[in-house]
Amino acid sequence: MANERLRAAISVKNETIQSLADHVGVDPKSVERWITTGRTPHRGHRWKAASFLGVDELYLWPSVEKQVETASSSELVTYYPHRGAVPASLWSSLIDKTKSQLEILVYAGLFLFDSHPDLPDQLAEKAKAGAVVRILLGDPDSEMVRQRGEEEGIGGDLAARARITRRYLEPAMRTPGIEVRLHDTILYNSIYRFDDDVLVNPHVLGAPAGQNPVLHFRYIPGARTFRHYLKSFDYAWERATRA
């Protein structure tokens, strides 16, 4: 059967068979076969195509659901019962090894800067070497930060922590490649992305972030969990303001 979803997705994005083929790195005839015969491409090609067209891979090729589920579950490296259980050496190792993308979404994240006093200098050095550093802090004057502070039982201290973190970052913010923005979103997870690794710290109502679990995921092509959390980061980033 023809893959009408793929045909429509190409049309909606105002792309062509040729442009999709160029992006994926295949012959246009291969893309034509994906459409006209319903042939399912290899995992890497599926992911590139879905990403290029801005749709979920499973929407275009529902038959690969089991493969995607297996790959996604394999992305989970380990689970920590609370943030304090994450080895200090892991944070240091992930920071040190990052070469291209370091992204942080928090309300304050002060613990990371307190435990790594040289982190602003490290971020500056990585940016100078070509890395993109994007950091989202909670807007200390926002209603969301005030409300989260109350829910965690620390009141205005959360806003104060966000201000301190921003102050720590000020020297690094002068380096091209580093951008800090303030957000006022409801934060369901703190996200710490280091190239192909991401640490996700879910927020439990009424409990400080440090008391909540941390999940370590590592990107696998064709899987969706890593990409799913990074979409959340991008969602908040697009709505945030420059610090």
| 72-119 pLDDT tens trace | 567 889 999 999 999 999 999 999 999 999 999 999 999 999 999 999
Closest CA to 222 of 79, 66, 101: 66
Do 178 and 124 form a contact (C-beta atoms < 8 A)? yes
pTM of the model: 0.75
Taking the C-alpha atoms of residue 85 and residue 48, their distance in angstroms, rounded to an integer, is 36
- β-strand partners of 76: 217
Do 154 and 130 form a contact (C-beta atoms < 8 A)? no
* Digit-coded pLDDT (tens) for 154-181: 999 999 999 999 999 999 999 999 999 9
Q: What is the pLDDT of residue 58?
A: 80
Taking residue 162's Cβ as centre, other Cβ atoms within 10 Å add up to 25
Which pairing describes strands 197-202 and 189-194: parallel, antiparallel, or unpaired? Answer: antiparallel
Do 218 and 196 form a contact (C-beta atoms < 8 A)? yes
* Digit-coded pLDDT (tens) for 28-73: 999 999 999 988 998 889 888 988 998 888 888 888 766 665 655 6
* Digit-coded pLDDT (tens) for 228-242: 899 999 999 999 999
**Higher local confidence (pLDDT), 129 or 54:** 129
DSSP string, 146-186: HHHHHHTT-TTHHHHHHHHHHHHHHHHHTSTTEEEEEE-S-
Q: Phi first, then psi: give them for residue 150, nearest 5 degrees.
A: -65, -45
- Output the average pLDDT for the chain: 92
Q: What is the pLDDT of residue 44?
A: 84
Taking the C-alpha atoms of residue 39 and residue 46, their distance in angstroms, rounded to an integer, is 11
Q: What is the pLDDT of residue 67?
A: 64
Say how many residues make up the chain. 243
Taking the C-alpha atoms of residue 127 and residue 172, their distance in angstroms, rounded to an integer, is 9
Q: What is the pLDDT of residue 69?
A: 59
